[in-house]
A and B are shown apart, each in its own frame.
Chain A
């Protein structure tokens, strides 16, 4: 099949006849994602102020090794090389980071705003060559469903953190049931992350979307409908959960630093 020729010269970067503010959306996405990546990297390297009372920052959960009472296997192993920076967050943060990096929504969004491929619909691109997701490195995006399996486990871990955030240490050393603003912050966090994770395109495929006759498997059909319902607003869940997981860390960090006072509601 002959290559299609198109007479006018190839368009230059940013060339378009669109008069609207087409640059606004990629700019917002660029600003939002950059702010999150900068803050979360900074927070992950801090290695302190990530827990307060029964609360544990979601950036640090599950805490495999660490100094807080939430640590599953005790403090940092003695064999940890001294030249290698340590923070409990660095051990686990690659999982949610990988999940979001390979998420179909985020892929489309950062290809646009960080790689200008395309910068916006019907706007000229900076590069002539194009590989897409057909060859290395982007073919690796196909690993997304494996990150999904791990992210589903994270939902369980974060739900357990909410449970733990209901039990406060009393003055006499006993544990009492209670609800603080931090408990609500963590509960909202797990709901939003759940909405995002359970609306994943890969999950939608795995629970029933891959079947041509999904009606023959009623459980799959039901699951597929539920996931599809969340999937319709995947973009919204992606941004709300991203914002809230960052905010949860900010909240607990400021409480731990003594800047904010956590209000006990119950």
Chain B
């Protein structure tokens, strides 16, 4: 059994510092095991959130060696242990204490998004019919575990603090799941363009890189939404074609 050094950020909203802790490393350990071990042995008052230890609850989000990660899914065998392993809280949200951050902004954002509005039922018994192929596309977005790692890494929130006019990749994925749903009839494009700020995303794909559920956030959710916004607001020929189609239908 070898020993590694874990450099953990300790502090609160007023500020803090890194402190080093020794961790005994054994086979199969993940970062969360190490944090739990040092919490038990050296830092009983260390604040850190976790729940499922299976990459499904999304609560153990933190930054491991500078990259947003789920601590329970980051194996020690995958990170260099010959130098201190740096663990910090997420940077896009206010810190509560140590590794725990206040992610409640995300819950408030979610409430602003227009909910699912299905068309009238297809059958007299009040049920709908959907083709598998149409559902497959939005299925990917439903894998989201709301770990908010993508929100953390997104520079629009992390560096530019545009929390007031940008909903972040997590909620662009959420909007895409609703907007592309075969039954949904709601129109979320005006908000996407304005209040939800899809144009603030500059498609640099860091969100896709960190997503533990491997959701292709930028290519499958954000860019298609951007294209829908172009259809609606920035494409004069497309607009003309739509008017012509509508006129023909009438």
Contacts and interface: CB of A to CB of B under 8 A. Distances in A.
Interface stretch (B23-31, B46-54, B151-159): B151-159
Nearest to B135: A215
B88 interface: yes
B94 interface: yes
Interface in A239-258: none
A142 B235 CA distance: 8
A215 B133 CA distance: 6
A138 B13 CA distance: 36
- Give the interface SS of chain B, mostly helix, strand, loop or mixed: mixed
B197 A121 contact: no
Interface string A194-215: 0000000110111001101111
Contacts of A234: 219
Interface string A216-259: 10000100000000011010000000000000000000000000
B165 to A, nearest CB: 8
Contacts of A125: 155, 159-160
B229 to A, nearest CB: 8
A1 interface: yes
Size class of the B contact interface (CB-based, 8 Å): 35 or more
Interface in B4-31: 11-16
Contacts, number: 162
Given A6-B93, A11-B159, A132-B199, A145 B235 contact: yes
Nearest to A213: B182
Size class of the A contact interface (CB-based, 8 Å): 35 or more
Contact of A209 (B68, B109, B224): B224
A214 B227 contact: no
A32 interface: no
Contacts of B95: 6-7
A6 B219 contact: no
Given A3-B164, A4-B163, A17-B63, A142 B234 contact: yes
10 contacts: A3-B163, A6-B93, A19-B83, A118-B159, A121-B67, A122-B63, A122-B68, A209-B227, A210-B228, A216-B131
Kindly list the 7 A-B residue pairs having the minimum CB-CB distance in the complex, ordered from nearest. Answer: A18-B66, A134-B199, A121-B206, A215-B131, A132-B200, A205-B227, A17-B66
